[in-house]
Amino acid sequence: MARTSGAELAQLLLGGFHAMADEVIAELERRGHPGVRPAHEFALRAIDAGADTASALGRRLTVSKQAAAKTIAGLEQLGYVGRTSDPSDARLKRVQVTPRGHELMTVGARLFDEVRDRWAAQIGAAQLAEIERQLVALIGDRREQAQGEAPQRAT
Amino acid sequence: MARTSGAELAQLLLGGFHAMADEVIAELERRGHPGVRPAHEFALRAIDAGADTASALGRRLTVSKQAAAKTIAGLEQLGYVGRTSDPSDARLKRVQVTPRGHELMTVGARLFDEVRDRWAAQIGAAQLAEIERQLVALIGDRREQAQGEAPQRAT
DNA sequence: AGAGGTCGACAACCACGTTGTCTACCTCAC
DNA sequence: GTGAGGTAGACAACGTGGTTGTCGACCTCT
């Protein structure tokens, strides 16, 4: 069984993501955060980490600024972020995470960590940490590499 | 460094999938298979492995039969599968992978394997195999578990 | 013969992404 | 100063991969 082909590996990675995300979203719904999507979670973290404009968020998440703007619109509608114009640069709309947004981040992080902890219990904390280390080595650079590129192909 | 939180792990898994899929799709396009999407690849494999009706494919991929039917329609339009009525059960439309479909599977598998091989070279074959083993342990059962459930919630 | 389950189709909808285009605005070189 | 070029955000149209709900046709089993 030299199985686990490349295609299977891809499916495992995607399946792993879904396994975590589906559970967290379902639990968030139960805990007073209906309508939240994985993309919201990640975007909120990126915003809080400093990507506080649509363009910056797009670069951070390696998606177009339009996609980022849509996500922000969704977050705003759910009450997780607010937007105000930047006084020193009228082009910018700065995004701030609301208290409810911070609460979502806290709960969401804990739920993700819970799944991770269960996984650690299942295969061993060292093994899981090792997987993370290798994944970072494999694709951590992908993010930084994308950082310098233009997210928008044509203009 | 309590780094790599649960949320980060989720992002790593998703990022890993994208890293593989994006590259394979781009290369497939170059090699005479434009319009192919990751979902097509995986569906084609499942069909070839025996999930030769829309409902069966839906169960296999843990999506609704409607979603599976759409994917099959896409594959048919691209010339990768054909459909014929089952003579012994008039409800069924059996799906067959065409020669071109098999060619796509071959090329696609090789491309996925190439990415996997590069990864193996980068972090070590043993490490990668270990990651796969652990991922299977973690979520391999998820697939089987879903196998018994009704894919359709209400009817 | 009928009840109930399964199959595929169709429609409407949603989330998340894409391009392309537009206007407003900043910045910098001249 | 002014004009060129880059950047920010809005809007529209579209693609993809899912979802529910509903339907008629068709087994299957009692």
User: Which nucleotide across the nucleic acid strands is nearest to A56, CA versus C1'?
Assistant: D8
Per-residue pLDDT tens digits for A43-89 = 999 999 999 999 999 999 999 999 999 999 999 999 999 999 999 99
What integer pLDDT is reported at residue B5 of this predicted model?
87
Which one-letter amino acid corresponds to residue B155? T
Q: Answer yes or no: is pLDDT of B143 > 60.
A: no
- The mean per-residue pLDDT over the stretch B96-110 comes to 95
CB of B45 under 7 A from strand C? no
- Closest Cα to residue B138, out of B150, B130, B127? B130
B134 and A113 within 8 Å at the Cβ level: the answer is no
A109 and B6 within 8 Å at the Cβ level: the answer is yes
Per-residue pLDDT tens digits for A132-152 = 999 999 887 555 555 444 444
* Alpha-carbon dihedral B146, A131, B115, A60, rounded to 10 degrees: 90
B10 and A139 within 8 Å at the Cβ level: the answer is no
Q: What is the pTM of this model?
A: 0.87
- The mean per-residue pLDDT over the stretch B82-96 comes to 93
- Closest Cα to residue A75, out of A117, A109, A106, A47? A47
CB of B38 under 7 A from strand D? yes
| A117 band by pLDDT with thresholds 50, 70 and 90 | very high
What integer pLDDT is reported at residue B4 of this predicted model?
72
A6 and B128 within 8 Å at the Cβ level: the answer is no
- Unique residue bearing structure tokens 């790593």: B12
Nearest CB to B122 within list A15, A21, A138: A138
| B151 band by pLDDT with thresholds 50, 70 and 90 | very low
Q: How far is B97 from chain A, CA to nearest CA, in Å?
A: 18
- The mean per-residue pLDDT over the stretch B89-117 comes to 95
- Closest Cα to residue B3, out of A133, A134, A61? A133
* Chain A 50-89 residues in 7 Å CB range of strand D: 53-56, 65-66, 69
- Closest Cα to residue A16, out of B138, B3, B21? B138
* Alpha-carbon dihedral B113, B61, B126, A135, rounded to 10 degrees: 90
What integer pLDDT is reported at residue B149 of this predicted model?
46
A98 exposure class (CB count in 10 Å sphere: 0-12, 13-18, 19+)? middle
CB of B55 under 7 A from strand C? yes
Distance set, CA A28 to CA A15, A43, B65 (Å): 20, 16, 27
> How does the average pLDDT of chain B come out, rounded?
88
B81 exposure class (CB count in 10 Å sphere: 0-12, 13-18, 19+)? buried
